[in-house]
């Protein structure tokens, strides 16, 4: 506490300019007061005998009389200083802060968080902004990943339109219902090959960046809430996509993961995890499937897999 320094007083550009203008006007006031005072002395000395009816009060000393004349001139020009200007600026800032708090364009419905003007002294600084420098994705943009399209066995599901969603593609749903092997393997990999950690019975207002809440899924009993804690939004999006198609990742332990596939619980033993690196551009897990077969599940950048396929 002894080494801490007091927080500096924040002043806006308008406030600094206003103070400068008031100081300039105060200088003008002093100049006019001195000019008028000196002019009064000169005029009085020239016309004192002619204006015999303006005789000065002999009971007041000469120096005190001059001081009263100076104060009189100062009062004469005091309206040059805008005394009400700082008060009106504070009133305007207060009203601006209210409008900021009420602005629906700055309201976040997801977290039910409105804008909050913590100080009204810097409102006008918002109008002085010319450039914005952002350090990373997520500062000025929403860092949200959504599962839009996928290619399974050379067949593309979902189209290129903005509102397209592969999980609503009827061809994909039909193949999933028919027990297509490639589709089953695809969503099994999405539900198993990751480092996501599920959490149950947590608050819905969790503020983690990569939380995915799954409500009312037919594969979850009594509309349970699962929050997927992921290291990146793409992993959370892939796990959520698998969950939507009935491959619900429910439990993770150091040695296995539990996936409920269309109502049937299956346990996959985790033998080894090949973590994602920027050099490999892919991650993988060595798992023991419920039937005892050992498999390697891998996901990563498309270019990496094309190079591997071309090499072999």
Burial 277-295 (b: 16+ CB within 10 A, else e): eeeeebbbbebbeeeeeeb
What gap in Å lies between CA 166 and CA 150, rounded to an integer? 7
Q: Which helix (H) or strand (E) holds 174?
A: helix 170-177
96-127 per-residue burial string, b: 16 or more CB within 10 A, e: under 16: ebeebeeeeeeeeeeeeeeeebeebbbbbeee
Terminal Cα distance for the chain, rounded: 66
Task: Confirm whether 69 is a catalytic residue.
Answer: no
DSSP output for 67-132: HHHHHHHHHHTGGGS-THHHHHHHHHHHHHHHHHHH-GGG-BTTTTB----S-STTGGGGGG----
Q: Which of 105, 108, 135, 178 is catalytic?
A: 135
Could you list the active site residues? 135
């Amino acid at each position: 506490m002894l080494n801490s320094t007091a927080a500096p007083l924040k002043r806006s550009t308008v406030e600094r300019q206003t103070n400068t203008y008031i100081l300039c006007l105060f200088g003008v006031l002093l100049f006019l007061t001195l000019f008028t005072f000196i002019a009064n002395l000169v005029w009085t000395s020239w016309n004192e005998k002619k204006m015999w009816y303006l005789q000065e009060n002999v009971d007041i000393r000469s120096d005190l009389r001059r001081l009263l004349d100076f104060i009189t001139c100062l009062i004469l020009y005091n309206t040059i200083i805008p005394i009400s200007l700082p008060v009106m600026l504070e009133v305007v800032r207060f009203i601006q802060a209210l409008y900021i708090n009420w602005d629906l364009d700055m309201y976040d419905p997801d977290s039910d968080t409105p804008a909050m003007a913590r100080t009204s002294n810097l409102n006008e600084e918002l109008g002085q902004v010319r450039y914005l420098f952002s350090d990373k994705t997520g500062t000025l943009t929403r860092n949200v990943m959504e599962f839009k399209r996928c290619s399974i066995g050379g067949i593309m599901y979902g189209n290129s339109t903005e509102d397209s969603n592969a999980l609503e593609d009827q061809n994909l749903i039909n193949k999933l219902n028919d027990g297509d092997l490639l589709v089953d393997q695809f969503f099994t990999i999405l539900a198993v090959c990751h480092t996501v950690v599920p959490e149950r019975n947590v608050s819905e207002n969790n503020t983690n960046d990569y939380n995915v809440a799954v409500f009312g899924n037919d594969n979850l009993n009594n509309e349970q809430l699962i929050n997927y804690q992921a290291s990146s939004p793409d992993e959370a999006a892939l796990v959520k996509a698998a969950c939507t198609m009935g491959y619900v990742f429910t439990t993770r332990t150091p040695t296995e993961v539990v996936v409920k596939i269309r109502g049937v619980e299956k346990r996959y033993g985790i033998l080894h995890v090949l973590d994602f690196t920027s050099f490999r551009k892919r991650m993988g897990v060595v798992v023991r499937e419920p039937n005892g077969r050992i498999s390697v599940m891998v996901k990563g950048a498309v270019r990496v897999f094309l190079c591997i396929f071309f090499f072999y």
